[in-house]
Amino acid sequence: FLNEHGNDASINEELTTARARITEVLAELVATDKMFRVQFNIQLLSEMPVQRDLQLTPDQFDEVQQLRATLPAPAPPPQTQGSNQQPTNRPNSAQMIRQANDAEAALDSILTEAQSDRLRQISLQLGGARAFDDPDVIAALKLSAQQTEAIRRIRTTFGPGPDGGPMGRPGGPGG
């Protein structure tokens, strides 16, 4: 198609517009994912078993609750059909990344290093096979593009069962 129509100015303009939109969508997905991960970790800290595991102090719990109150409520994805504009009350991807980074830094200042490490472990364990979507996990395991694609195919083929457990087993590992 491009070989036949590569010199057509209208096609080039459409391709440029499509590339720009794809870049925006990808940036929004990255930002949303980062914010979700931070909010999930903060939510985990409201669970009593996690508080006990991390030996969270009452002062730390209060600080986490204050931090949680400052975060934006999860927002649905913007409408993509019929409008290229984001709703005005939804932060753009750069703002969302900045908010997530700020919240992550605040959480790191509340928790000790050991508590932060353990919270991350708990979060990854609860995510099951979705942990392989985490860029830090991919980097730590030094997974190649082929390996991440193979994992994605396996997850798609054997996806979660009706209860959400990995590979269709109730409740995850060990059943």
Distance CA 161, CA 114 (A): 33
pLDDT, tens only, 126-168: 988 888 888 889 999 999 999 999 998 888 888 665 445 444 4
What is the pLDDT, as a whole number, of residue 79? 54
State how far the Cα of 84 lies from the Cα of 28, in Å rounded to an integer: 13
Of 43, 40, 64, nearest to 131 by C-alpha is 40
pLDDT band at 174 (very low <50, low <70, confident <90, very high): very low
Question: What was the pLDDT predicted at 84?
Answer: 54
Q: At 105, give phi and psi (nearest 5°).
A: -65, -40
pTM (predicted TM-score): 0.68
Which pLDDT band holds residue 121 (cuts at 50, 70, 90)? very high
pLDDT in tens, 49-103: 999 999 999 999 999 999 999 887 766 555 554 555 555 566 788 888 999 999 9
pLDDT for res 45: 95
Alpha helices in the chain, H assignment, sequence order: 2-5, 9-44, 48-54, 58-70, 93-110, 113-127, 135-141, 145-158
pLDDT at 14: 84
